Structure 1
Amino acid sequence: MNHRNDAMIGRRTAMKGLFATMGLAAVPGLAACGDSGSSGGGGGNGPVTLGSNYSDEVPKGALDAVIKAFTQAQGVQVNINTKDHEAFQQQINSYLQAGADDVWSWFAGFRLRFFASKQLVGDISELWKSLEGNYTQAQKEASTGDDGKQYFVPFYSYPWAVFYRPSVFQQRGYTVPKTFDEYIALATKMKADNIVPIAAGQKNGWPQLGTFDQINFRTNGYQFHVDLMAGKEDWAGPKVRATFDNWKRMLEFYQPNSLGRDWQEAAQSVLKGDAGMMVIGSQQIGQQFSVGGKLDDLDFFAFPQIDPTHGQDTIEAPIDGFAQSVKPRDKAAADKLLTYISTAAAQQTYLKSDPTSIAASNKADSASYNKLQQKCVQFVNEAKHITQFLDRDTDPGFASEVAINSVNDFIKNPNDIDGLVKKIASQSKQYFQK
């Protein structure tokens, strides 16, 4: 989900709406421009229609600037069809079935692979051959469907990690932990120093899903994590139990009443120096530090190693980008637009409005980035695997109705892990077909 909308609409509400569309029953709603029955011909001169969920004023203006630059450079007219961010997600199925715009904004992960498997997203594998130089292998992996073909062009991303204030660490003599045991030892020291070790705000429902992701892929590895999200692994099995066992070790260091606190308040506690660390995305906590005038005193480290077999080779970095219609009205022109979107120039034009995210292209000029962004670039480029965040990597209904409630239940009562995972496994059956 776009970070600017997280603070204004319920992420859970949006997930519910998206889940409703995944039944693939056509409903009245978001309409694309043009006729889906066109042959996809054209000589590359356009015009191209662009379906956009960049509905808030700042991102809308930033995308407009990107498209204006594209038209000036390529001479191809683009007609932008902007819809409310939440409505776009809720009505995505009817939008795609009715005939999507030539190019449309979307997300990497399960949400992409699901619609690609239903032949509702255009195969751009051939185009990707010319785009590969802009991206890492992990980003290509995130843009690929279950059939091994590419369906997505990354535009920008932001990593999740453990965020902290370097000035506080320096003042207190704290050292960045590399292993989970070191992490727990650091939290123990913070607690003794009367600092809340781990800021946590779960009132919004989704933030702690990110902590589950980090612990799960550190405990069990990337492949198990994505397979679990796809319903291919047993939620009641020993590997998931191990994830919750590791998480339980952290809970005594959590900010009290995390279920009654939103993520903004939790991030503010790190900003104020009342809390030492927080598992969150750079967009979210970066907003709070930017407004507070302390963005230069914000740093992060990769979630510590749990199993040496998996090390720290997987990170979470949700990727926003664009896909193509199955039958674009002018395929050559639509390819031109996606090619431009893949460039560092286009992405950095957009990011002039956002000091907390980074261009997806590995060719972006880091000289234009602040210190936080420069570290984010290195972090993403060095990752072997990139996950998208639980609600983008799994069935949205499972995320909103099972995962959030289960995480909340775990935080309330971490002493019945066996009962918890059995309940999750039972509830998951209605969302995943073996």
Structure 2
Amino acid sequence: MTQHSSFPLAAQSPGRRTVVGRLFGLSAAALAAPLLSACGGGPGADPKTVTFGSNGADATPKKAYEAVTKAFTQDSGLTVKTNTVDHDTFQNSITSYLQGTPDDVFTWFAGYRMQYFARKGLASPIDDVWDVIGDGFSDAARQLSRGQDGKYYFVPLYNYPWAVFYRKSLFQDRGYEVPTTWDDFIALSKRMRQDGLSPVAAGYGGGDSWSILGAFDYLDLRANGYDFHMQLMRGEVSWTDRRAMRILDLWRELTPYYQTGGAGRSWQDAAQSLIDKKSGMAVIGLFLGQQITDDAIRDDIDFFPFPEIDSAHGLDAVEAPTDGFMLSRKPKNEDAAKKFLQFLGSPRAEELYMGVDPSNLAANEQASTRSYNALQTKSAELINSAKHISQFADRDSDPGFITTVVLPGLVEWLGHPDDGAAVLKRIESQRSRFFTA
């Protein structure tokens, strides 16, 4: 879940959730010296072993994957050799890794991200896997797992919503009420500032510039609706459209209430300020839970949907990125790899994973939710109530465009959030490089 920033910026590399940047146009030198390499295999590979390339290097997802692979080995008699690489390195090296001799199965992301590698022939179709696991997934999950050729290339593991998180005890002690409209949200932010708090936690420094996309996406979804947002992401409308300007106009109202120094802070430090009650709210994903080890604090965390801006769109869209697995283009042990994918898409595997990592929700609808904590249960209800599910800007759009053009522009604008016309004009001038009619 670790996902999800902008390569071209000095001293920056993609953060947990942003992933690619220049991945789709690496230099020959980069391809010649990949940072991520397979953990074994090739001619003469052990037929009882399947290799697994994982970006789950943080303690919680690493432990969760260990539980899953251990159960698979016990059930199948096959051994999983896991190649765990930190999330940023995995993202930085994914293209060269897949063009070399990658592991049989690897972690990746649904939707556009999956479709890119499928289209380039860097992944294998897995329709036969879906013949086994398909009944457990919704139509939306099926759509997110298919390539543009209609074949399946992806097995979903989990998703997680973005929302506005807060500590219940802080709201109770201060007499704050959960806002439901934009005006209420701004009014609450003003009151928090008067009370000596940083109203909205902010950490988008270095490789964490991706974190600002949560607010950007929700402002667009709430003000302009899901259809326009997806058109903007797909490069179908101009970034100088008045509706895009509306996003920055609204954002400018909120920026005075951001935690100061966000450009020099990580998302983890920003999240910690919420946990420590130094910030009142945070626009962030459920992965916030990975920061928490104290169950008493976990029980005190709550969230509310990003507030309504235009009643025509209400709260009908929720950001809920989906992570899972793909099969490499020439797996060394294809049969074993597909058995592993079938297990990964099963209710049991997802229950095992979610039992260790409470910051995600099982994608398989047949998986038990008995182990869910209150935050997971509420998150599932939020996603299930949504009319539209968006992924995240750098997943719903060409990631090169988002990470090399949009993000640098928005980060620069946040440093001086005045008239947004100039930055939108610069973004628009690059759109045709990434999208063709």
TM-score tier by shorter-chain length is 0.7 to 0.9
Q: What is the CA-CA distance between 1:107 and the residue it aligns to?
A: 1.5
Matches within 5 A, 1:261-410: 261-284=265-288, 286-290=289-293, 293-328=296-331, 331-410=334-413
Write the distance in 2 (CA, Å) between the matches of 1:431 and 1:335: 34
- State which of 410, 416, 419 in structure 2 corresponds to 1:416: 419
Offset, 1:15: 9.0
Query: Do the aligned residues in 1 keep the contact of 2:15 with 2:210 (CA within 8 Å)?
Result: no
**Structure 2 CA distance for partners of 1:309 and 1:113, relative to 1, 3 Å:** farther
Give the Cα separation in 2 of the matches to 1:69 and 1:257: 45
Post-superposition shift, 1:295? Answer: 1.0
Change beyond 3 A, Cα 1:96–1:268: closer
For normalisation by structure 1, the TM-score amounts to 0.85
Residues 299/90 of structure 1: CA separation in 2 closer, same or farther (3 Å cut) = same
1:35-434 to 2 correspondences below 5 Å: 47-56=49-58, 58-98=60-100, 100-203=102-205, 204-284=208-288, 286-290=289-293, 293-328=296-331, 331-434=334-437
For the residues of structure 2 that align with 1:56 and 1:259, how far apart are their CA atoms? 23
Q: 1:311 & 1:221 partners in 2: Cα distance?
A: 9
Cα 1:220–1:356 shift into 2, 3 Å? same
Amino acid corresponding to residue 151 of structure 1 in structure 2:
Y
Q: Could you list the per-position Cα deviations for residues 94-141 of structure 1 after superposition, in whole angstroms to 9, with x for gaps in the alignment?
A: 332335433221112332121122232222345335434323333333
Q: 1:404 deviation in Å?
A: 2.5
1:238/1:363 CA distance change after superposition, 3 Å: same
Does the 8 Å contact 1:15/1:400 carry over to 2?
no
Query: Separation in 2 of the partners of 1:158 and 1:28?
Result: 34
Shift in Å at residue 341 of structure 1?
0.7
- Distance of 1:426 and 1:403 partners within structure 2: 11
Compared CA separation, residues 233 and 148, structure 1 to 2 (3 A): farther
- Distance, in Å, in 2 between the alignment partners of 1:94 and 1:125 is 25
Structure 2 Cα separation of the partners of residues 91 and 390 of structure 1? 21
- TM-score relative to the length of structure 2: 0.84
Q: Distance between the aligned counterparts of 1:431 and 1:244, measured in 2?
A: 22
State the SS of the aligned residue for 2:14: helix
Q: What runs of 5+ residues in structure 2 fail to find an aligned partner?
A: 6-10
Question: What amino acid is aligned across from residue 265 of structure 2 in structure 1?
Answer: R
SS in 2 for 1:22: helix
The one-letter amino acid of 2:167's match is R
CA, structure 1 residues 262+120, in 2 after alignment: closer, same or farther (shift >3 Å)? Answer: closer
| Counterparts of 2:93 and 2:125, CA distance in 1 | 22
1:118 is aligned with what amino acid?
K
Q: Given that residues 2 and 17 in structure 2 are in contact (C-alpha distance below 8 angstroms), is that contact kept between their aligned partners in structure 1?
A: no
Residue 27 (1) aligns with residue 29 (2): no
Q: Deviations over 1:344-377 (max 9, x none)?
A: 3212323344232232223333221222222222
Q: C-alpha separation between the residues in 2 aligned to 1:104 and 1:167?
A: 41
* Partner Cα separation in structure 2 for residue 58 and residue 289 of structure 1: 11
CA RMSD of aligned residues (A): 3.2
Describe the superposition over 1:397-431 as per-residue Cα deviations: whole angstroms up to 9, x where unpaired: 33333222222222222221111211111134433
Partner amino acid, structure 2, of 1:200: A
The whole-number CA distance in structure 1 between the counterparts of 2:17 and 2:167 is: 32
Amino-acid identity (%): 43
Residues 126 and 28 of structure 1: CA distance in aligned 2, closer, same or farther (over 3 Å): same
Q: 1:134-153 CA deviation, whole Å, 9 max, x = no partner?
A: 23333333323334443211
Residue segments in structure 1 that go unaligned for 5+ positions in a row = 39-44
- Residues 384 and 140 of structure 1, relative CA distance in 2, 3 Å threshold: farther
The one-letter amino acid paired with 1:63 is Y
Q: CA deviation at 1:217?
A: 1.9
Which residue is 1:42 aligned to? none
Q: In structure 2, do the counterparts of structure 1 residues 274 and 48 end up closer, same or farther at CA, with 3 Å as the change threshold?
A: closer
The change in CA–CA distance for 1:384 and 1:132 in structure 2 (over 3 A counts) is farther
